Chain A
Amino acid sequence: MVNSNADSAMGILFPNSYDSLVPELVAERLMASIPFASRYRMVDFVLSSMVNSGIDNISLIVKKNYHSLMDHLGSGREWDLTRKKGGLNIIPPFAQKTVNVYNGRVEALASILDYLKRQSEKYVIMADTNIAVNFDFADLLQQHIDSSADVTIAYTKEEIPADLVNIDITKKDLYYTLDVADDGRVKNIVVNDKESGEKNVSMNIYVINRKLLIEQIEAAYVSGLTYFERDIIAPKLGTLNVRGYQHTGYYARIVSTRSYFRENMKMLNADNVEGLFSPSPIYTKIRDDNPTRYMNGVHVKNVMAADGCIIEGEVENSILFRGVKIGKGAKVRNCVLMQDTVIETGADVEYTITDKNVHISAYKELKGTDSFPVFVEKRKNV
Chain B
Amino acid sequence: MAKEMIAMLLAGGQGSRLYTLTQKLAKPAVPFGGKYRIIDFPLSNCVNSGIDTVGILTQYQPLVLNEYIGNGQPWDLDRLHGGVHVLPPYQQASGSDWYKGTANAIYQNISFIERYDPKYVIILSGDQICKQDYSDFLEFHKAKGAEFSVAVMEVPWDEAGRFGLMVTDENDKITEFQEKPKEPKSNLASMGIYIFNWNILKQYLIEDENDPSSENDFGKNIIPNLLRDKRDMYAYRFDGYWKDVGTISSLWEANMEVLDPENSGINLFDDSWRIYSRNSGMTGHRIGENAILENSMITDGCDIEGEVNHSILFAGVKVEKGAVIEDAVVMGGSVIKAGAQVKHCIIAENVVIEKDAVVGAMPEGDEKGVATIGSNVVIGEGAVIGPKAMVSSDVEGGGKVW
Contacts and interface: CB of A to CB of B under 8 A. Distances in A.
B95 interface: no
B279 to A, nearest CB: 5
Interface of A: 37-40, 77, 268, 270, 273, 277, 281-284, 286, 288, 290-298, 300-307, 310, 319-321
A307 B294 contact: no
Contacts of B295: 294-296
Contact of B35 (A277, A290, A296, A297): A290
A10 B259 CA distance: 48
Given A292-B299, A293-B297, A38 B288 contact: no
Nearest to A293: B297
B283 A39 contact: yes
Contacts of B293: 294, 298, 300
Contact of A300 (B274, B275, B291, B303): B291
Contact of A291 (B34, B73, B288, B294): B34
Contacts of B314: 291
B3 interface: no
B35 A38 contact: no
A296 B308 CA distance: 11
Interface string B259-294: 100000000110000111101010111111101011
Most A CB contacts (10 A, CB to CB) among B74, B284, B285, B314 go to: B284
B5 interface: no
B289 A301 contact: yes
B306 to A, nearest CB: 13
Contacts of B33: 290-291
A291 B284 contact: no
B289 A310 contact: no
A306 B269 contact: no
B294 A306 contact: no
9 contacts: A39-B283, A77-B73, A290-B33, A291-B312, A291-B314, A292-B297, A294-B297, A305-B285, A305-B298
B350 interface: no
Given A292-B297, A295-B295, A305 B287 contact: yes
A270 B283 CA distance: 12
A294 B277 CA distance: 21
B296 interface: yes
A284 B74 CA distance: 14
B34 A290 contact: yes
A304 B34 CA distance: 17
Nearest to A317: B289
Nearest to B278: A286
10 pairs of A and B residues whose beta carbons are closest in the complex: A38-B284, A291-B34, A306-B284, A291-B299, A291-B297, A290-B268, A303-B287, A294-B293, A300-B287, A304-B284
Contacts of B275: 288, 290
User: Do most interface residues of chain B lie in helix, strand or loop, or is the interface mixed?
Assistant: loop
A286 B298 contact: no
A221 B164 CA distance: 79
B5 to A, nearest CB: 24
B349 interface: no
Contacts of B284: 37-39, 304-307, 319-321
B298 A298 contact: no
Given A37-B284, A294-B297, A304-B285, 15 more contacts: A270-B303, A273-B283, A286-B279, A288-B275, A288-B276, A290-B34, A290-B35, A291-B35, A291-B268, A291-B314, A300-B293, A302-B287, A306-B284, A306-B285, A307-B284
Nearest to B290: A301
B300 interface: yes
Contacts of A291: 33-35, 268, 297-300, 312-314
A283 B291 CA distance: 28
Contacts of A281: 281
A270 B288 CA distance: 9
A159 B274 CA distance: 48
A42 to B, nearest CB: 15
A111 to B, nearest CB: 33
Nearest to A282: B283
A306 B300 contact: yes
A303 B296 contact: no
Most A CB contacts (10 A, CB to CB) among B35, B298, B312 go to: B298
A351 to B, nearest CB: 19
Contacts of A294: 293-298
Contacts of B303: 270
Most B CB contacts (10 A, CB to CB) among A39, A286, A298, A307 go to: A307
B294 A298 contact: yes
A111 B33 CA distance: 50
B330 to A, nearest CB: 12
A116 to B, nearest CB: 32
B337 to A, nearest CB: 16
Contacts of B277: 288
Contacts of A319: 284
